[in-house]
Structure 1
Amino acid sequence: MPEQASAGAWVAGSDKPERETVRVGFLPLTDCASLVMAAVLGFDRRYGIKIELRREASWAAVRDKLGSGELDAAHALYGLVYGVQMGIGGPQRDMAVLMNLNHNGQAITLSRALAGQGAVDGASLAGLMRARPRAYTFAQTFPTGTHAMYLYYWLAAHGIAPFRDARVVTVPPPQMVANLDAGHIDGFCAGEPWGHQAILDGVGVTAATTQQIWPDHPGKALGTRREFAAQNPHTCRALIAAVLDAGKWIEASVANKRRMVEVIAAADYLNTGRGAIEERILGHYQNGLGKRWDDANSLKFHREGAVNFPYLSDGMWFMTQHRRWGLLKDEPDYLGVAGAVNQVALYREAAVMTGTALPAGLMRSATLIDGKVWDGSDPAAYAASFDIQWAKHDREQA
C-alpha cells in the first residue's frame, strides 16, 4: 500500500477543522472510490480529519440519515440533493453540494430477454415499445436522482415518453441485477459496477452509457446539510481537500487504479469481484453482445480538478429536468437555488489548499444526445423546450 499522507497540513489555529471525525455515508458503487481512498490512504489525516465511512443500503437511507444528522456528509446523487432542497425528494431541508465526485461511468442496461426481441439500443427499444406501450418496466435508483433523469432523457431522446409508454420503478443499485434476472424489471439505469455485473452474470446488455447521453456529465456529489456546512466550514474544506487529493492519486497511474479496484471490491465497500469493476475503470467496455470499445470518457474522478468543481449549471440542469417531468410544479429560481446549494467558496478554498486548478466561470456548456445545448443561460426556456415532457404527454395519464 502507498505510504499514508502526513498529518497536519492545515493551518493550525483558526483554520483547524471543527470536527476531527466526519461520518460519511456511501453506497456500494465504483464512484465512491475517491472517498474510500481518501480514508484508506490517509489523505483525510493530512488535513486534520478522520473520515468514518458508513455503507448504506439505499439512497433513501442516505437522504434520511443526512436529514437526521446521523451522517455528516455523503456520496449522494446530485439529483437527490436538489430533490430534498426543493421538497420533492423527501421532507424539505436546505442542502449543500461541497463538490462533484465524478463524471461519467453509469449505464443503461436492458434484459437479455429484450435483447432477444431485438432491443439492443435506444432506437430498437423504441421500435419494440411502439408495438407494446406500457408493457415494459424500467428501474432508476431514486425518483429525483441522477439515474432517473438520465434514463428519462435517453428514453425521450428516442421518442419514448417515460410515464406514458413505460412503467418506472425505484430499486437500490445493488439490487438491480437480481431484479433484472428475476424478470421484475426489463432494464435499469445505475452506476457501475452493476451494468457490467449484469453482463458478467449473463442477464443484461449495455444499451447506452451515460457519457453517450451527456459527455462528462455530473455524477455523484459530496452532499451535506447546509447547516452543517455553515457550522463546520473548516471541516468541510478539509473533507473536500482530502477527496481532491484522493481523486488525483487514483488517476495518477494505471497501477493506482488497479490498487483502488482491489480496495473497493472488498466486503466493506462494494463486496464484488474485481472483474466487475476493473475493465470499465480502465475504459474497456463491452455491450454483452460481442461489441467492444475503449472509451476515453469512462469514469473520471479528478481530471486536474475539471471533474470536481460544483458548477452552478450542473445543479440547475437537474432542476430543469425536475420541472420537465412535473416533479416541480412551479418555475424555481434556478440560479438562486444553485448559488445557495453549491458551496463554491468552500470548494475554491480547498482547491487552493491542494493546488487544484479552478475554472474561469460558474457555468459550463455541453451538447446532449438529442443535440440540445445546455449552458445554464436560460433554464426556464430549456425546461420548456422539449417535445416530450410531462405537460405535453403525461398529465392526462397521471
Structure 2
Amino acid sequence: MSHVNLHMSRRQLLRAALLVGGATVAGSTAVSCAPASRPAAGDQVTIGFVPIACSAPLLAAQGRDLFARHGVKVQLRKYSGWADLWTAYATGELDVAHMLSPMPIAADSGVTDAARPTELAFTQNTNGQALTLASAHHPHVQSVNDLRGMVLGIPFEYSVHALLLRDYLIAGGLDPVSDLELRLLRPADMVAQLSVEAIDGFIGPEPFLQRALKTGSGRIFELTRNMWDGHPCCSVAMAKDFRTRNPEQANAITAALAEGAAFVDNPEHISEAAPLLAQEKFLNQKPELIAPALAGTYLSWDDREITDPDYLSFGDKTSATAITWMAAQIARFGLGGETLRWEDASIRDAARSVLPADADTSLAPVTINGRSFDPNRPTLEDAS
C-alpha cells in the first residue's frame, strides 16, 4: 500500500485541522491551577500539562520543589484536553508545555495554524500505553483483522498513539480510514465512553488503562511496547525564543525534570510517588490506580497477571531516530500540509529542527510493528 493511499479523508483532515487550530471541543475547557496572565520573561514560568501519568516527571519536579531548588519559579496549569493546551501554546500564552512528542514537530514545522518554532526539550516517558478494548470483546478478538468495523478512541492526531496505531493496523492488513473509525477523545473521557459502549476501545495512557481494568469496562489487548519497544510518548516542549531569552531558566527546567524522572522511575519510590501524583492539583486520581502503572502491573488479554518493570519508563534521552519516525508518519498520513512533505529531506529536516542540544543524534534502524524503519531513508518502504 503506497503512502498516498494512507492519507486521511478530506473530512478527517478538516476535523483534525479544526481541532489543532483551536476550535472548541466539548468538555475540553482548561482547568487553571494559577492565574491566566503570562509571567514576564525571567520571572515565573507557567508550564501547561494534561493530567496523565506520562507527565509524572513534570509533576514530581513541582511536587518535590525541584524547580525551586534549581533556581526557577514554576507554576503548573492543568488542561483537561490537548486542544486547549495546543491553542494556549500556539498563541503564546504558554512558552513551555507538556506535549505528546509529535506535537513539537507539528508546531515547529508549521503544519497547521498553530505554528511556532519549538524544541522538544525533554522526553518524559517511553512505553506505558496500550490498545484497550471493551471487555465484551474478550476473548473473541484475537488478531488485528478482528478490529475491523470498530470505533477506537485516540487522544490527538499529533500523538504517537494515533501514528503508531495507524501503522499497526496497516501492518495487520487493515486500512485505518476505510476499515474502522478512529475517534478523537480526551484521555479522561475514554473509559466513560468505553463503559457506555460508545466506542469499542481506545489507545491511551495510564492511569486510564488501570481504570478500565478496575471498573471491568475494558481489557488491555496490545501494549504499544509490543508495537515498538522503547517508543517515546510525552515530552516537555519549549518555544525556541523562550530558550534564547532565558537559557538559565531553560536549563534549570530540564535539570529539574531529569531529577523528577529519576524519582518516579525508581520502583522504590512508588509508595511515595503514587499519592504525590494522585493529588487533585495533579492527576486527581486514586493512588491505587497510579501505583500499578508505576510498577508495571496489569492483567493481560490472555488472563495473566503481569508485572513488567519496563512497562512504563521515565527520563530516557530524546532519540533522533524516534523523532524522525514520528515526522515521517505525520507526512505519511497527510498531516504535514505543504511544509512537512513525504520526502526524505523534508522529514529529516523537521526531525533535526526540534532536537535539543543533548539529544541522541545517532540514526540507526529500528523495528516497529514488525518492519524495519531506516531514519536515514524514512520514506523507504520495508519489503519484509
Which TM bucket (shorter chain)?
A: 0.7 to 0.9
How is 1:54-65 mapped onto 2 (pairs within 5 angstroms)?
54-65=77-88
Specify whether residues 138 and 99 from structure 1 end up closer, same or farther in structure 2 by C-alpha distance, changes over 3 A only.
Answer: same
Deviations 1:18-76 (A, max 9, x none): 62421111111111111111111121122210221111111111111111222221111
Matched, 1:216 2:224: no
Specify whether residues 128 and 37 from structure 1 end up closer, same or farther in structure 2 by C-alpha distance, changes over 3 A only.
Answer: closer
Partner of 2:314: 301
CA distance in 1, matches of 2:196, 2:330: 30
Instruction: Return the letter of the residue paired with 1:126.
Output: N
Matched, 1:207 2:221: yes
Worse-superposed segment, 89-98 or 174-183: 89-98
CA distance in 1, matches of 2:147, 2:272: 43
Matched, 1:109 2:117: no
Which of 242, 261, 266 in structure 1 is aligned with 2:279? Answer: 266
Matched, 1:379 2:356: no
Give the secondary structure class of the aligned counterpart of 2:47. strand
Which of 72, 95, 115 in structure 2 is aligned with 1:72? Answer: 95
Partner of 1:127: 146
Quote the offset at 1:158 in angstroms: 1.7
Quote the offset at 1:270 in angstroms: 1.4
Unaligned runs of 5+ in 2: 1-39
CA distance in 1, matches of 2:112, 2:181: 19
Matched, 1:280 2:280: no
Partner of 1:323: 331
Quote the offset at 1:299 in angstroms: 1.0
Instruction: Return the letter of the residue paired with 1:91.
Output: A
Quote the offset at 1:128 in angstroms: 5.7
Kept in 1: contact 2:89–2:97 (CA 8 A): yes
Specify whether residues 375 and 186 from structure 1 end up closer, same or farther in structure 2 by C-alpha distance, changes over 3 A only.
Answer: same
Quote the offset at 1:144 in angstroms: 2.0
Worse-superposed segment, 287-296 or 223-232: 287-296
Specify whether residues 276 and 289 from structure 1 end up closer, same or farther in structure 2 by C-alpha distance, changes over 3 A only.
Answer: farther
Give the secondary structure class of the aligned counterpart of 2:282. coil
Partner of 1:314: 322
CA distance in 2, matches of 1:270, 1:386: 43
Give the secondary structure class of the aligned counterpart of 1:275. helix
RMSD (CA atoms): 2.2
Give the secondary structure class of the aligned counterpart of 2:133. strand
CA distance in 1, matches of 2:283, 2:301: 22
CA distance in 2, matches of 1:181, 1:166: 19
Quote the offset at 1:365 in angstroms: 4.3
Number of residue pairs matched by the alignment:
340
Specify whether residues 90 and 169 from structure 1 end up closer, same or farther in structure 2 by C-alpha distance, changes over 3 A only.
Answer: farther
Kept in 1: contact 2:128–2:205 (CA 8 A): yes
Instruction: Return the letter of the residue paired with 1:153.
Output: D
Matched, 1:86 2:143: no
Give the secondary structure class of the aligned counterpart of 2:230. coil
Partner of 1:235: 249
Quote the offset at 1:90 in angstroms: 4.5
Q: Which runs of 4+ in 1 moved over 4 A?
A: 384-387
CA distance in 2, matches of 1:288, 1:202: 13
Kept in 2: contact 1:199–1:288 (CA 8 A): no
Deviations 1:61-118 (A, max 9, x none): 11111112222211110112222233445432222110111111011111122226x1
CA distance in 1, matches of 2:84, 2:187: 13
CA distance in 1, matches of 2:92, 2:383: 38
Kept in 2: contact 1:44–1:239 (CA 8 A): yes
Deviations 1:285-321 (A, max 9, x none): 213663222223211113xxxx0x2222222111111
> Identity over aligned residues, as a percent?
25
Deviations 1:134-163 (A, max 9, x none): x32111111121211122122222212111
CA distance in 2, matches of 1:128, 1:76: 28
Give the secondary structure class of the aligned counterpart of 1:300. strand
The TM-score normalised by the length of structure 2 is 0.82
Partner of 1:139: 153
Which of 177, 195, 203 in structure 2 is aligned with 1:189? Answer: 203
Kept in 1: contact 2:145–2:173 (CA 8 A): yes
Instruction: Return the letter of the residue paired with 1:127.
Output: D
